Amino acid sequence: MGVEGGMKCVKYLLFFFNFIFWICGLALIVVGVVVQVRLNKSLMISDTSSSAVPILLIVVGVVIFFIAFFGCCGAWKENYCMVTMFAILLTLIIIVEIAAVITGYVFRNKISKVVQDSLSDMVTKYNTTSEVRKSLDEIQKSWKCCGVNSSADWIGFRSDQNSVPDSCCVNITTNCGIGHMKDSAIVNQQGCAVALEKILKDNIQWVIVAALIIAFLQIMGIVFACMLMRGIRSGYEVM
């Protein structure tokens, strides 16, 4: 059997694509973990449906991570069964990724309600739960915002009904928020909901774009896998 230059090229291309998939799987795991931590710790989101996208990303990332390693071995050893199984599993992964994109798009429309409900819950629990207080203070400091929709959301913070947490202040000092709820020179007046909605929407858009790019690369991987399968089955020597 003669050496087939085309099949040899396909073999190394498939190996290269699998290495890219391995990197993509690792990236999906990292992105999924970061989004999950931000949603459930920084925002204290209690709506379990909001975790669907990051959890799905982590699961897909782990599966891709191992399938890519499996595909590399199959391509390098020219094992027909391994390459065939790789192509089948990769097809299933693409279907799951399409589901993830759809889920992300649907969740994108729920962001406003989830953020509003979560921030409102955090404001309510601010004086009773230290973990919530720490998280909300960090949000207000980081994004220069105050309350859910405005500083007026803190009307029940103190008995004077004119005070806000110090983390709402433009320049944070001890007791800077006492008696200055409506003073824009001292207290940030913009609510945190708008800023956080924009951040989350931007993150989800990037996740959707990344998923589509990875799906395209995986389709190319399936094409190369099928070509290599055909070459191996025909008895070509690709080494």
- pTM value > 0.85: no
- The β-bridge partners of 237 are 3
pLDDT at 151 over 80: yes
Domains annotated for the chain, with CATH where assigned, are 5-110+201-233 (no CATH), 113-193 (1.10.1450.10)
Contact 221, 14 (CB under 8 A): yes
Percent with pLDDT over 70 in the chain: 79
Q: How far apart are CA 149 and CA 214, in angstroms?
A: 37
Contact 83, 95 (CB under 8 A): no
Q: How many CB atoms lie within 10 A of CB 235?
A: 7
- Per-residue model confidence as pLDDT tens digits over 178-203: 999 999 999 999 999 887 777 776 76
pLDDT at 46 over 60: no
Q: How many CB atoms lie within 10 A of CB 150?
A: 17
Which contiguous run of DSSP H or E holds residue 60?
A: helix 52-77
Q: Is 4 exposed, middle or buried (0-12, 13-18, 19+ CB in 10 A)?
A: middle
- Per-residue model confidence as pLDDT tens digits over 1-36: 333 556 677 777 777 877 777 787 787 788 777 766
- Per-residue model confidence as pLDDT tens digits over 159-177: 999 999 999 999 999 999 9
Q: How far apart are CA 51 and CA 177, in angstroms?
A: 34
Q: How far apart are CA 14 and CA 6, in angstroms?
A: 12
Contact 225, 83 (CB under 8 A): yes
- The β-bridge partners of 150 are 190
- Per-residue model confidence as pLDDT tens digits over 125-149: 898 888 889 889 988 998 899 999 9
